[in-house]
Amino acid sequence: LINHYSNELLKVLNRFYKRKEMQRLAADQGLDARLFHQAFISFRKFVLEMQSLPADLHIILSDICCGAGHVDDIYPYFMRHAKQIFPMLDCMDDLRKISDLRVPANWYPEARAIQRKIIFHAGPTNSGKTYHAIQRYLTAKSGVYCGPLKLLAHEIFEKSNNAGVPCDLVTGEERTFVDLEGRAAGHVACTIEMCSVTTPYEVAVIDEIQMIRDTSRGWAWTRALLGLCAEEIHICGEPAAVDFIRELMFTTGEEVEVHNYQRLTPFSILDQAVESLDNLRPGDCIVCFSKNDIYSLSRQIEARGQECAVIYGSLPPGTKLSQAKKFNDPDDPCKILVATDAIGMGLNLSIKRIIFNSLIKPNINEKGEKQMETISTSQALQIAGRAGRFSSKFKEGEVTTMHRDDLPVLKEILSHSVDPIETAGLHPTAEQIEMFAYHLPDATLSNLVDIFVSLSQVDGLYFVCNIDDFKFLADMIQHIPLNLRSRYVFCTAPINKKQPFVCTSFLKFARQFSRDEPLTFDWVCRHVSWPLSPPKNIKDLVHLEAVHDVLDLYLWLSYRFMDMFPDTALIRDVQRELDGIIQEGVRNITRLIKNTDPTITDAVQAQGGRRAPTLGGSGKTSSGFVGRTANHGGHKGPGQTMDNSLAGRLIKDGLLTPGLLLQLQKEWSRDNDDDNKGKGRKKKKR
């Protein structure tokens, strides 16, 4: 009888769940499809597993099972349960108001109080657009430069001071005042996240405006564009952003004046791929999208008796600059550069020919998932544009690929116009999250931002930036007792979550901070085991890069919690010394690769010439360009394997490590041996 009643009850509950009217009513109360499903699962479990249900609910369910009631009668009891597991439903109107992001221009009353002049300097790389904006910046009584990279902020800081215009530097990890007594100069060069939206300026420069659509950092460009209090805002970037910026500025009642620029030096796409490392020439730059390829190619190049410089994203700025200087120096024997797309911005390089080693790059999509994609037209132009710079000795640039089958795909990519920008990023502020926490005192920070994003309403011109990194850090330190503002600040720290040592350091910093114990120089030195020895292999070099990131994290936190991170000057001295050690390691990178576990480097070496497949399953590249299967023909240079095996492709795509490949090979050979023994035994029986 009990089983029969339970089965009837289950049928009734499932009928309720499928009722579209109930889903619509619940949505009006703040339960979207995902929350409705979660609430129903919890409610069903409560009804079926509870020993004694509340009397009113028990009567309603009995009536429905007996045919004396309607399934919709469950709704008020379902909502009562939903509000217990989702407390925000009781204050939904307030939460909706807080997370209403439809008019972000109104967040900046100081900027709205003045009529700003907007000048858009539009052009491709190496067209002089930023140069013209900076010239106006230098002649102004006061100004702010907002760039995407520390290197770019440093460059403008030095250029400004060299031109006799006193300029301060502000990045996440550094504050440099030219005035010895610490008084602010009229001009400041900063990374875009650090710009002040309350300080008045005569001129502001926002560089690389196309990054306003970046899924992680786009919010910083939106904030600068809408919030800077400057009489003139000079925007620099791709022409693909012009129409969108006009539309965005229409919402603030500000007109946009556009200055168009053409590339100062031409670059041509060659009709032949390089195909072999034997065909490299002085001024060549091979662009890779993985560190393994950089290690492999630099070793193969130096095995041919040529020196090469190496630049990739996780190197400290000082090391990148020293490698760039080495490559640019006409008296240095180093004439080849192997780099990731980190060269696309922030470094002045004397490159004659850009060679794409691959056209496949790992990307993070809007959902925060990693996927392998053919590079976009915008990315290809940004990298290709580094060839033949106006300020370099090569007045004309050339672009090609390492592999023959990639060349028609590259030509196809570069023949397309850049996709127009259609949306700008937004990010919840600390104040908005604090207001949420007031209404939801028991929610974790990770849950608060989740609820915020799910309830947020955005205008069609905007999107909410990916908050996965923020949530990752919030979950990591959830168990550590911190007040909400401090917790929020910690979670906005720019750290590389792929580095285990950086993550454990972040955790230790937060724990020490929560005990109200200052993080002293001695404490940090003990934690990172300073002093550190020069790297003997690649593993050591990667660890030193991680330690550099940890010191960056200390400096970043020191400007937000000065009392708790007191030894900024000493940490900066150590970081400078560490940068020197890393520079030495990178100069000897070939020796480090040789000293690394030979089983791994041999596997990496073996796949040095391999590449990711050009095509997806549809017969098109992932960006929609038609291509051919990646079956390399043509000349294969000595020591360069043009292999396109499944194993090679998996390693290339980062889905398999050389170490794992070797382990699999051992297992396969063991299985084959077992199979052969089994066959032998069968033959004997016959």
pLDDT digits (tens, 9 = 90+) for 225-246: 999 999 999 999 999 999 999 9
**CA–CA gap between residue 83 and residue 90 (Å, rounded):** 7
Q: For residue 670, what pLDDT is reported?
A: 58
Res. 277: pLDDT tops 80: yes
Please state, as a whole number, how many other Cβ atoms lie within 10 Å of the Cβ of residue 633.
10
Q: Give the confidence band of 36 by pLDDT, cuts at 50, 70, 90.
A: confident
Q: Distances in Å between the alpha carbon of 349 and those of 232, 365, 480, 670?
A: 31, 30, 46, 51
List Cβ neighbours of 398 (8 Å cut-off, separation of 6 or more): 267, 268, 269, 270, 352, 353, 354, 387, 388
CB 215, CB 131: distance < 8 Å: no
How far is Cα 333 from Cα 581, in angstroms, rounded to an integer? Answer: 22
Query: Which DSSP helix (H) or strand (E) runs through 658?
Result: helix 658-685
Please report which confidence band the pLDDT of residue 651 belongs to, taking 50, 70 and 90 as the band edges: low
Q: What is the pLDDT of residues 347-360, one digit of tens each?
A: 888 999 999 999 99
Examine the fold and report which residue of 380, 395, 415 is the final residue of a domain before the chain moves on.
Answer: 415
Calpha distance 518→282 (Å, rounded): 52
Tell me, yes or no, whether 481 and 549 share the same domain.
yes
CB 22, CB 75: distance < 8 Å = yes
SS3 (DSSP) at 387: strand
Mode of pairing for the β-strands spanning 200-206 and 187-191: unpaired
Comparing 39 with 481, the larger pLDDT belongs to 481
**410 part of a folded domain:** yes
Q: Say which residue the tokens 């509870």 belong to.
A: 50
Q: Is 654 left (phi over 0), alpha (psi -120 to 50) or beta?
A: left
| Lookup: tokens for 8 | 């009837």
Asked if residue 111 and residue 75 are part of one domain, the reply reads no
In 3D space, the residue among 525, 522, 528 whose CA is nearest the CA of residue 545 turns out to be 528
Residue that terminates a domain, selected from 545, 580, 595: 595
Does a structural domain hold residue 429?
Answer: yes
- Quick: pLDDT tens for 176-209: 999 988 889 999 999 999 999 999 999 999 999 9
Say if 334 falls within a structural domain: yes
Tell me the C-alpha distance between 123 and 126, whole Å. 8
**159 in the same domain as 272:** no
pLDDT (0 to 100) of residue 602: 44
**At 649, which amino acid appears?**
R
- Angle at which helices 500-514 and 521-528 pack, to 10 degrees? 150
667: pLDDT confidence band, cut at 50, 70 and 90? low
Domain co-membership, 66 together with 131: no
CATH of the domain at 429: 1.20.58.1080
Tally of domains within the chain: 4
The per-residue pLDDT for 629 is: 32
Pick from 493, 439, 503: nearest CA to 447: 439
| 355 in a structural domain | yes
Averaged pLDDT, 139-154: 95
pLDDT for position 392: 63
**Does the pLDDT of residue 615 top 50, yes or no?**
no
CA dihedral sign, ordered 183, 187, 190, 192: positive
3-class DSSP assignment, residue 354: strand
Tokens of 213: 């659509």
54 and 195 in a common domain:
no
Q: Is 640 helix (H, G, I), strand (E, B) or coil?
A: coil
Q: Is 17 among the domain residues?
A: yes
Parallel/antiparallel/unpaired status of strands 200-206 and 143-147 = parallel
CATH code of the domain covering residue 69: 1.10.1740.140
Q: Are residues 272 and 164 in the same domain?
A: no
Reported as a single tens digit per residue, the pLDDT across 433-487 is: 998 888 888 888 998 898 888 888 898 899 999 888 999 999 999 999 999 999 9
Is the confidence at residue 83, as pLDDT, over 50?
Answer: yes
Please list, in sequence order, all residues whose beta carbon lies within 8 angstroms of the beta carbon of residue 476, skipping any fewer than 6 positions away.
503, 506, 507
The pLDDT of residue 609 is: 38
Q: Decide if 122 contacts 257 (C-beta within 8 A).
A: no
Computed from CA positions of residues 131, 133, 135, 138, in that sequence, does the dihedral angle turn out positive or negative? negative
Considering only 4-8, 19-23, 112-116, which range has the smallest mean pLDDT? 4-8
Name residue 586's amino acid: V
DSSP conformational letter for 530: S
Q: Are residues 448 and 394 in the same domain?
A: no
Q: Are residues 190 and 121 in the same domain?
A: yes
Is 667 part of a structural domain of the chain?
Answer: no
CATH number of domain containing 392:
3.40.50.300
- Taking a C-beta distance cutoff of 8 angstroms, is the pair 387, 351 a contact? yes
Asked, for residue 66, whether it belongs to a domain, the answer is yes
* The residue type at 425: G
Residue 668 has pLDDT above 60, yes or no: no
pLDDT of residue 646: 53
Do both 442 and 319 map to the same domain? no
What's the pTM value of the predicted model, to 2 decimals?
A: 0.77
Q: What is the domain range of residue 434?
A: 425-595
Sheet holding 167-171, edge to edge: 174-176, 167-171, 187-191, 143-147, 200-206, 229-237, 117-122, 256-260
Are the CB atoms for 642 and 636 separated by under 8 Å?
A: yes
CA distances from 366 to 133, 427, 566, 585 (A): 32, 14, 38, 36
Q: What is the average per-residue pLDDT within 561-574?
A: 95
**Claim to verify: residue 129 and residue 10 sit in the same structural domain:** no
Reduce the DSSP state of residue 176 to 3 states and report it. Answer: strand
In a domain, 322, yes or no: yes
For the four alpha carbons of 104, 364, 475 and 548, in that order, the dihedral sign comes to negative
User: 215, 234, 260 — which closes off a domain?
Assistant: 260
274 is written with which tokens? 């390089």
Dihedral in degrees, nearest 10, Cα atoms 351, 267, 375, 424: 100
CA 175, 221, 315, 520 dihedral sign is positive
Asked whether 319 and 583 are in contact (CB, 8 A), the reply is yes
Tracing tokens 């929610």 back to the chain, one arrives at: 443
Three-state DSSP class for residue 38:
helix
- 466 & 589 share domain: yes
**CA-based angle 22:13:18, to the nearest 5?**
45
Residue 248 and residue 274 in one domain = no
E strand or H helix at 370: strand 370-374
Q: Which residue, among 203, 193, 235, has the nearest Cα to 139 in the 3D structure?
A: 203
Beta bridge partners of 143: 187, 203
Beta strands in 434-562 (DSSP E): 457-458, 462-464
Contact 347, 320 (CB under 8 A): yes
What is the DSSP track for 102-149?
S-GGGG-HHHHTS--EEEEEE--TTSSHHHHHHHHHHHSSSEEEEESS
Give the DSSP letter string of 522-568: HHHHHHHTSS-PPPSSHHHHHHHHHHHHHHHHHHHHHTTSTTTS--H
